[in-house]
Amino acid sequence: MPVLTDNVAGRAEPRPAPGGTAASPRRRWWTSRRRDQLAGLLFVTPQLVGTALFVLLPLGLVVWYSLHEWNVLADTFDFVGTDNYRELVDDPKLPGVLRSTLFFSVGLVVFNLALALLLAVLLNQRLRGTVVFRTLFFSPVVVSLVAWTIVWGFLLQDNGGVNGVAGAVGLDGPNWLRGEWTALLSVIVVQVVKNVGLNMVLFLAALQGVPAELYEAARVEGASRWTQFRRITVPLISPTILLTSIITVVGALQVFAQIAVLTQGGPGTSTTVLVYYLYQQAFQFHQFGYGSTLSVLLFLIVLTLTVVQWRMRRKWVFHEQ
Amino acid sequence: MNNRLPLRARVAIYGLICLLAIPFVFPTWWMVTSSFKPVSDIFAFPPSLIPTELSFSAYRRVFELQPFAQQYLNSAYIAAVVTVGTLAVSSLAGYAFARIRFRGQHALFLVVLVGLLIPSEVTIVPLFQMFNSVGMIDTHWPLILVPTLGAPSVLATFIMRQFFITLPGELEEAARVDGLGRLATFWRIALPLARPALGAVAIFTFLHSWNLYLEPIVFLSTPEKFTLPQALTQFVDAYGGPMWDVQLSAASMTALPVLVVFVIAQRQFIEGLAHTGLKG
């Protein structure tokens, strides 16, 4: 797992001799070390300024705002300490929102990773035509997100395509977007089908890196295909499983457009995930203070999940050595 | 390898793959074909996979109801500027973090990495307030500046750094022998070698900008300034119900060009993404 773990300091790089051959004695102070110092700082300046201005400053501000009662329409901005956080605990809608966020994220991650792995294993069988299928499974990734969502909204109507197909095989499909559980399931499926191609491709690359001799050896010892998969494939691609799960979890917590277009968070709060709730509070009810409090909550959840998953890698990610 | 699987297993796998492919292919197909159907046929049952008569009226209405050509242009130029800008910012920073030694490097890299932990949704309220205070609400600036310099470009910088680290150390030596400075080394040697990584970053960045939805609906309020994702949801009748045929036509026009480019260059797309930076 080289990502994030390798260190700048660990990388040996040839250092130019002090003074450099190109520098004349007259300008010896202008060494290649100084030149690198300047070049390095200049090269990273745009990214640094951007991070400071558009990431760190807003992060500080959002914490500051969360300590204020701030209604944009009424033009009030009063320091209220931790009142918003108390309101958070008492908010009667919040348990429902957190429950939806949890079910949505867990459902999305489990379904996405399982399907991605299944597709990758199927396409890794070296059958003819797999490149065509790989293209087909990946294609929703490049379809405009809102366009994709609109089409699914259309297909999931009571008299839409999904129920048309269900009816053709004698099933009476529900009105998908109007039932609490079916709406949640619909949003998950729409999102998984849209993006599973990315994880599938990462898994395919990982599967192709598993040495074939390992399977030979396992076959000689009479291991079934399922045992081979569990004992060889899964451990060897576990770094990719970790990486994709982190990307997918964080991505799940950012899902907004699909919900805004398909269900507007309903019915009830069954599909109101945290990002959508924060949007409602801040930009529909104009509560910037409380919206900021919800943003802080979202940030803490993302941070905790990332750290926990990163810690977990020591426990179950397989390392060669 | 091919003959290792018995025929029955191969047929079973093909069957399973085809079945699984339906939800991936059918929606796009349905979107494009339905957009040419007269409204009365869209919900017809059984659904026809190919329109029996071609109707372009929905396409005409897309342009009558919204300044759709302008909105198309908005999305295209914003995505282009963001992509070029991100490539510049992230390749410079990625190169410096990977290959130049300078004081403060580790600390600065950690600062930048914080951006990976903060989804832009978290900072949307203060960003709105910041752009509001400098009079940039209802302009395209937030949609250009934040992705190019903020959290999304941090991921790009990270990918570029991971790539530049893998280049051989002789790179700098050869450049020094030739008397090249840092900028020339970067521009003439490192950057041309980084083409696969740049391609992956460009694809990611373009799609990200093209799909942006929360930011446009927060920052923009004039239809002439809308981007495509925002415009697509505006085709509603007097009761707020969606005008399906018009929406599907607009959606088709939004999705098809990118899809066509993808199908033509699918190998570069997929393998570039799989083998660059993100590979664990």
Q: pLDDT at position B196, please? A: 85
Nearest to B278 by CA among A188, A300, A308, A204: A204
Contacts of A44 in chain B (CB under 8 A): 92-93, 96-97, 108, 112
Are B195 and B267 found together in one domain?
yes
Say if residue B275's pLDDT is above 90. no
Other Cβ atoms less than 10 A from the Cβ of B103: the count is 12
Domain count, chain B: 2
Q: pLDDT at position A11, please? A: 42
Are A57 and A105 found together in one domain?
no
The residues, any chain, with a CB within 8 Å of residue A138's CB and separated by 6 or more, are A197, A198, A200, A201, B262, B266, B269, B270
Indicate the average pLDDT of chain B: 87
Q: Supply the range of the domain harboring residue A61.
A: 22-65
Report yes or no: B142 at the A interface, CB cutoff 8 Å. no
Q: pLDDT at position B120, please? A: 85
Other Cβ atoms less than 10 A from the Cβ of A129: the count is 10
Other Cβ atoms less than 10 A from the Cβ of B46: the count is 9
The band of B138, judged by pLDDT with boundaries at 50, 70 and 90, is very high
The band of B93, judged by pLDDT with boundaries at 50, 70 and 90, is very high
Q: Select the residue of B5, B211, B213 nearest A125 (Cβ to Cβ).
A: B5
Residues 74-93 of B with CB under 8 A from A: 88-90, 92-93
Q: How far is B225 from chain A (nearest CA, A)?
A: 17
Is B278 in contact with A202 (Cβ distance < 8 A)?
Answer: yes
Q: pLDDT at position A319, please? A: 56
Are A37 and A131 found together in one domain?
no
- Give the residue on B whose Cα is nearest the Cα of A45: B93
The band of B148, judged by pLDDT with boundaries at 50, 70 and 90, is very high
Is A127 in contact with B13 (Cβ distance < 8 A)?
Answer: yes
Q: Select the residue of B24, B28, B117 nearest A303 (Cβ to Cβ).
A: B117
Are B99 and B183 found together in one domain?
yes
Report yes or no: A123 at the B interface, CB cutoff 8 Å. yes
Angle at B241 between CA B237 and CA B247, to 5 degrees: 75
Half-sphere exposure of B27 (CA within 13 A, CB side): 30
Are A69 and A76 in contact by the 8 Å Cβ rule? The answer is yes
Q: pLDDT at position A25, please? A: 53
Assign residue B265 the CATH number of its domain: 1.10.3720.10
For residue B12, being part of any structural domain is answered with no
Q: pLDDT tens digits for B31-71?
A: 888 888 887 777 776 667 777 777 888 888 899 888 999 99
Q: pLDDT at position B78, please? A: 96
The DSSP letter of residue A8 is G
Mean pLDDT of B197-223: 92
Are B143 and B28 found together in one domain?
no
Q: Select the residue of A54, A145, A239 nearest B280 (Cβ to Cβ).
A: A239
Q: pLDDT at position A316, please? A: 64
Are A201 and B276 in contact by the 8 Å Cβ rule? The answer is no
Q: pLDDT at position B280, please? A: 37
Are B47 and B94 found together in one domain?
no
Q: Supply the range of the domain harboring residue B251.
A: 66-275
Mean pLDDT of B237-252: 85
Helix (H) or strand (E) holding A76: strand A76-79
For residue A194, being part of any structural domain is answered with yes
Please, what's the largest Cα pairwise distance for chain B? Answer: 73
pLDDT in tens, chain A (321 residues): 334 434 444 444 444 444 444 445 555 677 778 888 888 899 999 999 999 999 999 999 999 999 998 888 888 888 888 888 999 899 999 999 999 999 999 999 999 999 999 999 999 887 888 889 999 999 999 999 999 999 999 889 888 778 877 877 878 878 888 888 999 999 999 999 999 999 999 999 889 888 888 888 888 888 888 888 888 888 888 888 888 888 898 899 999 999 999 998 878 888 999 999 999 999 999 999 999 999 999 999 999 988 888 787 776 666 543
Which tokens is B68 given? 């759709």
Are B32 and B151 found together in one domain?
no
Are B73 and B49 found together in one domain?
no
A13 vs B82, higher pLDDT: B82
Contacts of A152 in chain B (CB under 8 A): 27
